[in-house]
């Protein structure tokens, strides 16, 4: 057993252990295909906008009672099979002292980007007391959710590095790639420090009661496979290895990562998320045996008539069933759009449950 997993405490076993979601993650028989949605906690829900009115995003992530309410809202409304912890990928960066702000309509903005070796000193390991509000919020949620599992989450090292280097969102990730290609030793140290911070953030959530975790790598689809293997994979693998001893399912998801799916599976995930660009049977071949799949309805389909949504959802379910495995979790191929009709999501959950149970 590796040094990172040897001394980890046992995980709090919750009533969710035998839920359809966790059984699917473990390739066990399920009564129906479990379904949840990325970015389901808020975004399109009017009740979300009401409770968050006047409260900045990062502040809302630091109020345990508010986090509990927002996380529970889609579970109540849609009857999804899992809750996703309401937070943001830059929360652990804020917690270790990085000056970051989430600007409406823009996204995370870093006041002083990380560009030199001296800048790395600002990235210290995250301690549980840095995010006491996370421990409290997860505890409140696990007590309230009962047999519905809670998914913890964090941003992957590459995506966090991109925000830190660019100073905010970027389409081309030019500064990020310039460091990765031109200063590989500096890049490797940055990714390693971020892996330690990310692993610490996930450990806090797991030890407080999260039943699974998902690592989001929003921007990694901008890389070629060789660059991923050479410069990024070790960081993600370090995160997954650090939490392996807890025994909770580990999900890995990125956008536009069709050519990286096999490598993302190799990094250590138990479940690999698939966006809508790659059919599930093709994804299964790339990921290989032993991994569950999550996905992969195109989010834009939800804006079409209900009959179309059901036809496309049935196609996803059929593709998954053709693989001959119970290891499928229905999800969108990316997150819920802010302008999406919440009722369309509710209807989709009911349809997936009914169609897959038959």
Residue 163 appears among annotated catalytic residues: yes
Active-site option among 88, 217, 270, 275: 88
Residue 52 appears among annotated catalytic residues: yes
Active-site option among 39, 115, 193, 286: 39
Active-site option among 52, 115, 193, 250: 52
Q: What values do phi and psi take at 274, rounded to 5?
A: -120, 130
Residue 88 appears among annotated catalytic residues: yes
Find the DSSP H helices in 61-150.
64-78, 91-95, 132-145
Helix axes 157-166, 233-243, angle to 10 degrees: 130
DSSP string, 127-154: -GGGGHHHHHHHHHHHHHHTTS-EEEEE
The SS3 of residue 279 is coil
Write down how long the chain is.
358
Active-site option among 48, 130, 133, 163: 163
Q: 246 and 11 in contact (C-beta within 8 Å)?
A: yes
CB atoms within 10 A of CB 28: 12
Residue 13 appears among annotated catalytic residues: no
Find the DSSP H helices in the chain.
20-25, 46-51, 57-60, 64-78, 91-95, 132-145, 157-166, 174-182, 184-208, 225-231, 233-243, 261-266, 280-287, 306-321, 342-357
If you search the block for the tokens 């060789």, which residue do you land on? 226
Closest of 326, 295, 354 to residue 30, by C-alpha = 326
Residue 76 appears among annotated catalytic residues: no
Enzyme catalytic residues:
39, 43, 52, 88, 163
């Amino acid at each position: 057993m590796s040094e990172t997993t040897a001394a980890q405490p046992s995980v709090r076993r919750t009533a969710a252990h035998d839920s359809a979601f966790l059984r699917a993650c473990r390739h066990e028989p399920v009564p129906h295909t479990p379904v949840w949605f990325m970015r389901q906690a808020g975004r399109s829900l009017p009740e979300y906008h009401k409770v968050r009115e006047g409260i900045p995003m990062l502040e809302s992530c630091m109020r345990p009672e508010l986090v509990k309410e927002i996380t529970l809202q889609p579970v109540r409304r849609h009857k999804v099979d899992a809750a996703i912890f309401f937070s943001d990928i830059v929360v652990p960066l804020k917690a270790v002292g990085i000056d970051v702000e989430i600007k409406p309509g823009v996204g995370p903005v870093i006041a002083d980007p990380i560009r030199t070796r001296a800048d790395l000193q600002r990235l210290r390991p995250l301690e549980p007391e840095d995010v006491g509000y996370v421990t409290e919020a997860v505890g409140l949620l696990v007590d309230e959710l009962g047999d519905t599992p809670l998914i913890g989450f964090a941003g992957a090292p590459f995506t966090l590095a991109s925000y830190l280097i660019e100073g905010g969102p970027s389409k081309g990730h030019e500064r990020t790639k310039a460091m990765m290609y031109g200063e590989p030793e500096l890049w490797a140290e940055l990714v390693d420090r971020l892996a330690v911070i990310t692993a610490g953030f996930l450990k806090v959530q797991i030890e407080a009661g999260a039943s699974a975790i998902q690592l989001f790598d929003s921007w990694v689809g901008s890389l070629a496979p060789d660059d991923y293997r050479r410069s990024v994979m070790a960081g993600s693998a370090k995160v997954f290895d650090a939490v392996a001893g807890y025994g909770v399912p580990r999900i890995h998801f990125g956008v536009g990562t069709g050519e990286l799916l096999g490598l993302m599976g190799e990094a250590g995930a138990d479940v690999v998320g698939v966006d809508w660009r790659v059919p599930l049977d093709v994804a299964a071949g790339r990921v290989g045996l032993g991994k569950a799949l999550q996905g992969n309805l195109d989010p834009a389909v939800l804006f079409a008539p209900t009959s179309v949504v059901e036809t496309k959802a049935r196609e996803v379910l059929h593709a998954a069933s053709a693989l001959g495995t119970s290891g499928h979790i229905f999800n969108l191929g990316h997150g819920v759009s802010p302008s999406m009709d919440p009722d369309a999501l509710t209807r989709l959950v009911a349809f997936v449950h009914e169609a897959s149970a038959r």
